[in-house]
Structure 1
Amino acid sequence: MTPVVLFGSFFLFMSLTVPIAISLGLAGLVTALYSSNISITFLAQGFITSTDNFALMAIPFFILAGEIMGRGGISQRLFDVANVFVGRMTGGFAIAAVVTCMFFAAISGSGPATVAAIGGIMIPAMVAQGYDKKFATAIIVTAGSLGIIIPPSIPMVLFGISANQSIGDLFIGGIIPGIFIGLCIIVWTYFYSKKKGYKGTEEAFTVKKMVSALNRAKWSLLIPVIILGGIYGGIFTPTEAAVFAVVYAAFVALVLHREIKPKEFWGILADAAVSSVAILIIIGTANAFGTILSMEQIPQQIAEAFLSLSSNPTMIMLLIIALLLVIGCFIDTSAAVIIFTPILFPVAIQVGMDPIHFGVVMIVTLSIGFITPPLGVNLFVGSGISGIGMPTLVRAVTPFFFVMLFSLLVLVVLPQLTLLLLN
Structure 2
Amino acid sequence: MSGEMIGLVGMLILLVLLVLRIPVALAMFAVGFVGIWALRDLNSAMSLMASESFTLASSAELVVVPLFILMGNVASVTGMSARLYDAAYAIIGRLRGGLASATVLGCAGFAALSGSSVASALTMGKVSLDQMDRFGYDNRLSTGVVAAGGTLGILIPPSTGFVIYAILTQQSIGRLFLAGVLPGLLLLTMFVATISLMCWIWPKFGPEGPRTTLSEKAQAMVGALPVLGVVVLTIGGIYTGIFSPTEASAVGAGLVVLIGLLQRKLTFARFWEAAKDSVVTTATVMLILIAAHMINPFLALTHIPTMVGDFLAALDVGPLVILGLILLTYLVLGCFLEGFAMLVLTMPIYFPVITQLGMDPIWFGVLVVLTLEMGLISPPVGVNVFIVKSVARDVPLGRIFAGVTPFWLAMFVTLALLVAFPQISLILPNTMMQ
- The normalised TM-score by structure 2 is 0.92
Map 1:24-423 to 2 at 5 A. Answer: 24-36=28-40, 39-45=44-50, 46-197=52-203, 198-203=206-211, 206=214, 208-256=215-263, 258-387=264-393, 388-422=395-429, 423=431
Q: How far did residue 174 of structure 1 move?
A: 0.4
Flag structure 1 segments of 5+ consecutive residues without an equivalent.
Answer: none
Q: CA–CA distance in 2 between the matches of 1:23 and 1:65?
A: 30
> Which of these residues, 8, 21, 35, is aligned with residue 17 of structure 1?
21
Q: How far did residue 376 of structure 1 move?
A: 1.8
**Structure-2 change in CA distance of 1:210 and 1:393 (3 Å):** closer
For these two proteins, the number of residue pairs brought into alignment is 421
Checking the alignment, whether the CA contact within 8 Å between 1:9 and 1:30 is kept in structure 2 is: no
Q: How far did residue 311 of structure 1 move?
A: 4.8
Checking the alignment, whether the CA contact within 8 Å between 1:111 and 1:144 is kept in structure 2 is: yes
Q: Helix, strand or coil for the counterpart of 1:420?
A: helix
**Structure-2 change in CA distance of 1:325 and 1:310 (3 Å):** farther
Structure 2 residue identity aligned to 1:40: A
Stretches of 4+ moved more than 4 A in 1? none
Q: How far did residue 29 of structure 1 move?
A: 2.6
Q: How far did residue 153 of structure 1 move?
A: 0.4
**Structure-2 change in CA distance of 1:164 and 1:175 (3 Å):** same
Q: How far did residue 407 of structure 1 move?
A: 1.2
Q: How far did residue 205 of structure 1 move?
A: 5.7
Aligned residues with identical type, % of pairs? 32
Q: Helix, strand or coil for the counterpart of 1:179?
A: helix
Checking the alignment, whether the CA contact within 8 Å between 1:75 and 1:100 is kept in structure 2 is: yes
Q: How far did residue 138 of structure 1 move?
A: 0.8
Q: How far did residue 330 of structure 1 move?
A: 2.8
Q: CA–CA distance in 2 between the matches of 1:216 and 1:337?
A: 38
Q: CA–CA distance in 2 between the matches of 1:162 and 1:86?
A: 41
Checking the alignment, whether the CA contact within 8 Å between 2:110 and 2:120 is kept in structure 1 is: yes
Q: CA–CA distance in 2 between the matches of 1:53 and 1:146?
A: 27
Q: CA–CA distance in 2 between the matches of 1:303 and 1:49?
A: 28
**Structure-2 change in CA distance of 1:330 and 1:286 (3 Å):** farther
Q: CA–CA distance in 2 between the matches of 1:85 and 1:411?
A: 30
1:12-32 Cα deviation digits (max 9, x unpaired)? 222322111111111113323
1:28-69 Cα deviation digits (max 9, x unpaired)? 133234333672213312233233311111111111111111
1:164-194 Cα deviation digits (max 9, x unpaired)? 2111111111001011111111111111112
Q: How far did residue 378 of structure 1 move?
A: 0.7
Q: How far did residue 110 of structure 1 move?
A: 0.6
Pair 1:7 & 2:14 matched: no
Q: CA–CA distance in 1 between the matches of 2:73 and 2:179?
A: 25
**Structure-2 change in CA distance of 1:355 and 1:32 (3 Å):** closer
Q: CA–CA distance in 2 between the matches of 1:280 and 1:128?
A: 41
Checking the alignment, whether the CA contact within 8 Å between 1:133 and 1:386 is kept in structure 2 is: no
RMSD over aligned CA atoms reads: 1.7
- The normalised TM-score by structure 1 is 0.95
**Structure-2 change in CA distance of 1:322 and 1:287 (3 Å):** same
Checking the alignment, whether the CA contact within 8 Å between 2:139 and 2:399 is kept in structure 1 is: no
Checking the alignment, whether the CA contact within 8 Å between 2:78 and 2:265 is kept in structure 1 is: yes
Checking the alignment, whether the CA contact within 8 Å between 1:5 and 1:31 is kept in structure 2 is: no
Q: CA–CA distance in 2 between the matches of 1:63 and 1:185?
A: 25
Q: CA–CA distance in 2 between the matches of 1:293 and 1:120?
A: 42
Q: CA–CA distance in 2 between the matches of 1:215 and 1:310?
A: 59
Structure 2 residue identity aligned to 1:103: G
Q: Helix, strand or coil for the counterpart of 1:421?
A: helix
